[in-house]
Each structure stands twice: as structure tokens, then as C-alpha cells.
Structure 1
Amino acid sequence: MLRTLATRILGAVPVVLLVALGIFALVRLAPGDAASTLAAEDASEADIARMRAQWGLDQPVLVQFFYFLGNLARLDMGTSYRYHAPVAELIGQRLPATLELALTALLLAAVIAVPLGVATALKKGSWLDGLGSLLAVLGVSAPSFWVGILLVLLVSGHFNLLPSSGRIPLDVPIRELTGFILLDSLLQGRFDLFRQALSFIVLPAATLAFGMIGIIARISRSAVIDVGQEEFVLTAVAKGLKRREVVSRHLLPNATVPIVTIIGLELGTLISGSIVVEVVFSWPGLGSLLYAAVTARDIPLTTGIVISYTFIFIFMNILVDLIYVLVDPRLRVART
């Protein structure tokens, strides 16, 4: 396992460097100028030039890039032009909201999709299988912003059942322990706040989960069908084992690896793909912060958030690999 971990970490280094180079080039090749964008309306050319010098934007691009890499190696992402605060601090403040949203969406998707995938595999060719295929197509083809706006208009606007923006009411105080409001409210015994926070997270989590349900369900279905064609399963059926016993003892345990794979990878995708959903629902996470940074041409904040997304995605891939080794003993034998 340690060898697997070391190999994955070493393999992640060139990925981070390529992402750093790509985002550095993109934000500097984009039209416009950060100093001009963030300067006051009555700022003179001398004031703007002073801002460029303060932020190092008057240096050659190659010098800026190596300075950026040096800071990144020290985990120093710089100071935000717009918020005048350390980028790492701003990311740390917003990251729990994004993680809470992504984890809630993934839990919702997995609870619905895995049983649906198993059921459609066991009822292959039935109406339930057709329904699963329809959900998969809808989930993949429907844009998340369209689903989010539709839920806002129907659930929040027309029926007025759930709130459509924010994490909790603005007039409700909370002492943050972990940054995860659902968890913090439970730790403090504030079940009224837990119910309120849950009502705020339902719509954005459902929007994110909608696209994942079809994908996870189809992977689960394929995994169960593939395992069901293996000789040891056919032998168990031929021996007269009950269907429930065949499913619980042979099918599901051996179909776990691809299901765990897709769930782990989708968590990374949810975290990085929640930008549009956070903007639609005014969710105060990394996605909405990235949107604000891009529109303000806040170069340090933009690059810092993108690099953070990269680290998160790499971490999720490494975590999935480690779970592989724990779940499937054959991988432990193969890698020793």
C-alpha cells in the first residue's frame, strides 16, 4: 500500500506542474488587465502602474511564472487582489461549503443509484431496466444549470417549499467548529439549525446528484451483469442456492470495485463541477468564489482555486486506489 501511495504521489507532480503552467498562461493571455479592472474609476495611469508594480505584473512573464512556482512550492498562493487577504485563507473559508455540498449530493446519488443499478441488472430487459436507461440519458444530457433553474422556479418559486439561495438564514448565528454546518449543528445539539441547513442544501445537492444518478446506476448495472456471468456465480446458481444468497454473497461483493471507483471519481468531479450550481444557488463555496475571482481578474485567487481543485481531484484518485487495495485482496497480492 505504501508503494502504491508513493507511486501515485510522484505521478501527481507533473500533473500539478502542467495545470499550474496552463492556468498561469490562461489568466495572463486573457484580454484585459487586472490592475485596470480593480482600480478605482478616478485612478490615474500612475496609480495603475503602481498597482502593477506592487503585484509584480510589470515583470517579464517568465519571471512571473518562476516566482509563481516558487511560491507554490512553499504552498504560498499569494494575496487576493480583490479581497486583500491570503488566497489560502479564503480557500480554507470556502472549501467546507463545497465539500459539504458535494458529499451530500454524492450520498443522495449513491443511495438512489446503487440500488437502482442492482435492481435493473437483476431485472434486465424489464420496464425497470428501461426506466434506469431513461434516467441515465436524462442525467447525462440535462445541463446542471438548467436543472438548477428549473428546481428554483418550481420548488422554490412556484410551490415555495424550499429556499433557493445560501446555506442558512442570514439572521441565524452559528459557532463554526468544522465549517460543515450540518455537522456543526449536530455537534452543538442545535437540531432546529440542522433542519434549516438541510432545507437549504436540498436543491443544490439534488441538482448535482441528478447527473450522477444515471452514471452510477449504469456502472452498477454493468458491474452486476458482468459478475453474474462469471463461472463461480453460475456454479452457485446451479447448486441451487437461493437468489438472495447468490446476490448478497457472490454478486454484490465482487461488483464492489467498479462501483467504488465511479463513486470516488464522481466525488472529485462533483467538487470541481459544482461551480455553476454554486452560482445558481448563491452557495458560498469555492465555485462561487472562483466565479467572482475570474470576473474581477483576480489572478492569485483564480490560480489558487484551480490548483486547489487539482489537488482535490488527485487526492480522490489516490484515495480510490487505496480503497481498491483494501476492498479487493487480489490487488494486494498483485502489488506485493
Structure 2
Amino acid sequence: MANSHEHAISSLIDSFSSLGADDCPQQIRHLEVLVAEELGRVYDRYLALWHGIVSPADPLVIFKQVDIRKQLLDQLHSKRLSSLRRQVDSLTKALLARSALRKKITPVSKLKLVLKILAKLELTMGKIKFAIACISPDLKPAEVRDDQYFENLKWFISRRLAIRIYAVNKHLCALLATYRRLMEQFGHLFAHHEPQKTIDVITLTETCLDSIDEALAFTNKSELNLLQDEWRLTIDSLNETLASFVKFDNWTPPRSPDPADTARRSMGEDPREDEPTPESLLGQPHLLHPAMSHCRISVIAAVKLSRLFVAQLLKISQDTENFQMVPDLSTRELEKFRTMTSTIATSMKNVVSNLSEEPDEARDGIWKQ
């Protein structure tokens, strides 16, 4: 279907060429309208990429077709994503081209080029849509069993790849929608009329290209690489939790007005000179309320020990000479292993969050004990 549509677009472009007056305003306007319509049509067709292919087979049946899924994954890695990257880059360069600055590019030739790129981009997206629907069929975790010998087609990996492909599609559709709006409002010279829009579409293009690069890099990752990424995220989360608690811990409770302070102020002295700072309190736990001091030490120790444990896991896993990942773990086993460490970070975050959820009431309660 995509091939037939590409042929139809080519025929339509050729028909415009036969009209003569290659750069007449009427022909330019016709092509601008056609480009805007094509941008909108491709956007509408691929906005919901996660809907999968038309009339798909049973997802579990597709999932077990390992040989077919492997071929599609290899094509996605070696051809499809690279082609999409080139086409997205070419689309932006074509739409931002200034005819006046490049004599070989006329408005009509520019718009024809955009249509040809769009036809190729749509064809590539159609192949990616079919591939990802087969590589990562719509399954629930409980339905996935005995995939320990599927190698890089385990559900643990394929569903994460699908998430990255959906991100690529999201950024691409945002770019297409922006181009359509600009073409409808300003025509093919929108970059000339709205310079700020040029910066916006370049930013959108770079974001889209980065997401494609991320998806490409993901296709080279192993199960161990994915677990290492999860551990790095866990360490980052624990660092944030520790920083959040230290910030809460550094808070100094307000003091009631002291008659002696009032007298010192009346004499021109600053009573704050004798106040302990948060740093001095932290350096001298005995100056804190006993309950607060014990809580502080326990929470900080728990977070730091958790962080040390995950950091050691990451360090050991990087010792490839003495450490090797067991290759025949199923998705369920991998998920359990991943959850073990992510739960640590979540638990620590919840503890700190509960301690500092309502700072005014919580702190008043602590200091009134």
C-alpha cells in the first residue's frame, strides 16, 4: 500500500511538471497545499503506532516466532532506523532550504523534493511499525513464560525496545505536525518569515534524531547492560533521596522570642551571632534533640548502605574477566532481579518522603517531643 501511494505521489509530481511555468505562483501554492496534506496524512497514520498491524495474529503466537522476529530485529538495526534518520534529516534540510540562496533550488523543485522524502519516510515508518508489532507483541507479563532461550528477543528486552521506538514516533509526529502548521500558515518560505520557527524545528529535528540514535544504541545492548542501566538509575535515585533528606535535616527550627535577645537588640547587638548554624548542629549531633539525632543517623546510614550495595553490584558486573551473566534467565527471573534493587531506592525514597511530607507539622511534632 505504501509503495502504491509513493507511486501515486510521483505521478502527481510529474503531472505538475507537465503544466509548464515551473515557478508560477499557482503551481507553488498547489504544491504547498499538497505538502501540508501529506504531512498531516502521515502524521495521522502513525500517531498511534502502538496500535500495531492490521488484523494481527494472536500476540503469543507472534512472540514464539523467534526466527521471524530475529530477521525483523536485524533489519530494524541494520536498515530501518538508519534510513529513518537520514530521511528525517533530509526532510528538515529540504524544508529549510532557501531558493534565493541556492539557484539550483526553485520553490517547485524544493516542494517536489519534500514530497519524495515524505513518501520514502512513510514507507520506512510502515516497515518499522510492522517490525515492532512483531518484535514486541501486545502481551501481559503473566502471559510470558519460558523465553529464556530467546536471547535478545526476550520480552524483558523487546518491550523496552518498543518503548524507545514509540519515543521516536512521538518526536517524529511532533515534527510533522509542526511542519504542517508552518506550511499552512506561511508556505514554503516559513523559515524566512518566521526565523524563530527555524530554531524550533531544528530543535525538534535534533530531538528526533537523538531518539533514533538512542533506539539504535539500545539494539546493541545485552541483558547485563540493561540491568547496569537500572542500577545506575537506582544510584541516582538514592543520591537524590540522600540530598533531599540532608536538606530537610539542615532545617533549623524557629525559636520563640527570647527576652534577652530583645534586650540585646535594643542595645544594638545582633543576637543571631550566638545561634548555632545547621552545619554546626550536624557536626555536633549531641546538640540536636535526641529523637532527631537518632533518626538522622539511621536514615543517612540506611541510604548510604543501600547506595554502596548497588554500587558494588555495578562494579562487580563490570569485571568481565571474573563475572559473567547467566544467559538462560527468563523474563520473569530478570524482572525479579531488577525489582530487587529498584525496590531499595523506592523504599528509601518513601521513608524520606514520609518524614518530610508535611515539614511544618512534622518538624513541630519532632521538636515538641
Higher relative contact order (CA 8 A, sep 6+): 1
Q: Which TM-score band (shorter chain)?
A: under 0.3
Structure number with larger C-alpha Rg: 2
TM-score, structure 1 as length reference? 0.27
Q: Give the TM-score normalised by the residue count of structure 2.
A: 0.26
